[in-house]
Chain A
């Protein structure tokens, strides 16, 4: 029955495609500013000079003053830090070292495989700087001044992250708005009232609507992922089955929210407006495109209590970090709680006329 509403289906499927296309066209992988942590084991004046010169490089931003090499390495692996530079103990006093090896102690540069273009740039810049500083003393072989410690991580770029954000966004927006508008239309046309004079039980009506919309959500999810992966080269590393399971669970939460809104909406147009009002802020606050850590004020805390947040975290944990489904149970429990809470409210406030 739903399949006959061609216009609604068109928009339901067109909207996510449009989103993926628009975001796919952005160049999210530009160099930008790279976060760098420096661990100074030498503490001498030459090391100090090195730090100062490092700060003058435009695309590097020094972070984490007090950090241990192990901690910093962890951050590089997690993607929270771009580069780690370790200035060795003997950096400032090469003569002692040179007495044994005829070469100054190399600076260690630690980074992950996440951003190859930027890695080249940073590697070159740091290498030049080290060479510059050392050549003030004696001639040196540049290649031996820096050791690069490259950590292999699964290939993830910003687009992969956004692709899952778009998936969550598409499912949320469509589930909330399409059900709110649909139910509001049915109520306005007294279709709901017509159903009420039949012995059809209310829960069966709810179940049928939710089943149909969850199926549509899964098709949407398939389209978003297919366009993202095959057209724009995004990647999904984890188990696709779990991605679809999380999508279905999240979709139920948003459908319930749609049912709740439809109880208050006086007309289909109002239902659509209300749906947008709920969906739009949630899109930004739940970290669809940008990390919620960057949000100002109490908004990061607000983010934690929105239903889209656990859905996106679960999706990213499974699809990007390849976590097994049982490891992300807190997110699933949060979504489950939302299903329960919204179901209770929906059944309580729902009106047939």
Chain B
């Protein structure tokens, strides 16, 4: 069976600006595939090529085995789309909007069942403006399901939502996926990518940097833990080096910046019980006063840092 979505050597230039620079990936049927990257990474442009809103400068995109440029109408009929910033007619209620959108498709789901699925059954007569941010995003997901699509494409579905509403939407997306719908989404939340995506493509500056399951991406890092040390006094370069029985020093105090963090250091440690112990031994041996110590497992944020050499720009 053909992959749900396949893009090959995709390039999109707007004038002299290259938004997407040679991206290739394929989304298997039934998975939740995420594209993670900061704003301006080229995620939305990539999706919009798949949705046939943009023509690629080079390369090609296909959905369910159909070239999107050659079969735009059929592709549009078989996918569901939630755009990053799109409004709906403000003079119609939810049921009417879904009925109107449904009328554009050969197969359509009933507005009642769609609203029921996203937990908005009691808002059927309300207008968009009467919904909370989280409800609006859930409605946008419902609207993307109006044609019983085989693939749904969600562009930053949880941006701007509070943590509660975000988690709520995650379970909705997972539920949609469990019914057999392939999900392709973008996000700039590391946590979200880690929580719901089966596989993840990391993009920055129009390029695909890595593609794997979130677990494999994290395991791919040599380090397993991040250690944040706050010392009584600043350490010398030599002292810092001697501590680092693990992997590397990520930040010195200056880089972390801010008030009263001059003596704070971020280190990564390999996944061995001895690494932490030897670091603490070194500290007491050198007689360095330790004010605070935080040990956290590495996350996608560290993966991103490793891949791009810079912090994630939210």
A: which residues have CB within 8 A of B?
A: 1-2, 4-5, 189-191, 193-201
Instruction: Report B296-309 CB contacts with A as 1/0, cut-off 8 Å.
Output: 00000000000000
User: Chain A: interface secondary structure?
Assistant: loop
The answer to whether A191 touches B105, judged by C-beta atoms less than 8 angstroms apart, is no
**C-alpha gap A5/B91 in the complex (Å):** 6
B: which residues have CB within 8 A of A?
A: 51, 53, 73, 76-77, 81, 83, 85-89, 91-92, 96, 100-101, 104-106, 147
Q: Select one of A2, A196, A199 contacting B77, CB under 8 A.
A: A199
Extra pairs beyond A189-B87, A198-B105, A198-B147 (9, CB < 8 Å): A190-B86, A193-B53, A193-B83, A193-B86, A194-B86, A194-B88, A197-B51, A199-B73, A199-B76
A1-B100, A198-B104, A199-B105 known; A191-B89 Cβ under 8 A: yes
Nearest first, the 7 closest Cβ-Cβ pairs linking A and B are A4-B91, A189-B87, A190-B86, A200-B104, A197-B81, A198-B104, A194-B86
Which of A2, A189, A193, A197 is most buried by chain B, counting CB atoms within 10 A of its CB? A197
**C-alpha gap A195/B77 in the complex (Å):** 12
Which of B51, B76, B101, B104 is most buried by chain A, counting CB atoms within 10 A of its CB? B104
Instruction: List chain B residues, Cβ under 8 A from A4.
Output: 91-92
**C-alpha gap A200/B53 in the complex (Å):** 13
**Which residue on B lies nearest to A2, using beta carbons?**
B91
Q: Select one of A1, A189, A200 contacting B91, CB under 8 A.
A: A1
**C-alpha gap A201/B103 in the complex (Å):** 12
**C-alpha gap A60/B88 in the complex (Å):** 65
Instruction: List chain B residues, Cβ under 8 A from A200.
Output: 104
Measured between C-beta atoms, what is the minimum distance from A36 to chain B in Å? 59
Measured between C-beta atoms, what is the minimum distance from B154 to chain A in Å? 12
Q: Select one of A5, A190, A193, A198 contacting B101, CB under 8 A.
A: A198
Measured between C-beta atoms, what is the minimum distance from A14 to chain B in Å? 19
**Which residue on B lies nearest to A4, using beta carbons?**
B91
User: Chain B: interface secondary structure?
Assistant: loop
The answer to whether B77 touches A191, judged by C-beta atoms less than 8 angstroms apart, is no
**C-alpha gap A293/B78 in the complex (Å):** 61
Instruction: List chain A residues, Cβ under 8 A from B81.
Output: 197
The answer to whether B88 touches A196, judged by C-beta atoms less than 8 angstroms apart, is no
Instruction: List chain B residues, Cβ under 8 A from A199.
Output: 73, 76-77, 104-106
**Which residue on A lies nearest to B77, using beta carbons?**
A199
The answer to whether B86 touches A189, judged by C-beta atoms less than 8 angstroms apart, is yes
Measured between C-beta atoms, what is the minimum distance from A7 to chain B in Å? 10
**C-alpha gap A251/B222 in the complex (Å):** 70
Measured between C-beta atoms, what is the minimum distance from A213 to chain B in Å? 15
Instruction: List chain A residues, Cβ under 8 A from B100.
Output: 1
**Which residue on A lies nearest to B144, using beta carbons?**
A197
Instruction: List chain B residues, Cβ under 8 A from A195.
Output: 104
Measured between C-beta atoms, what is the minimum distance from B198 to chain A in Å? 24
**C-alpha gap A198/B51 in the complex (Å):** 9
A193-B53, A193-B83 known; A198-B76 Cβ under 8 A: yes
Instruction: List chain A residues, Cβ under 8 A from B83.
Output: 190, 193-194, 197
Instruction: List chain B residues, Cβ under 8 A from A196.
Output: 53
**Which residue on A lies nearest to B96, using beta carbons?**
A1
- A selection of 20 A-B contacts at a CB cut-off of 8 Å is A1-B91, A1-B96, A1-B100, A5-B91, A189-B86, A189-B87, A190-B83, A190-B85, A191-B86, A191-B88, A194-B87, A194-B88, A197-B51, A197-B53, A197-B83, A198-B76, A199-B77, A199-B104, A199-B105, A201-B73
**Which residue on B lies nearest to A188, using beta carbons?**
B87
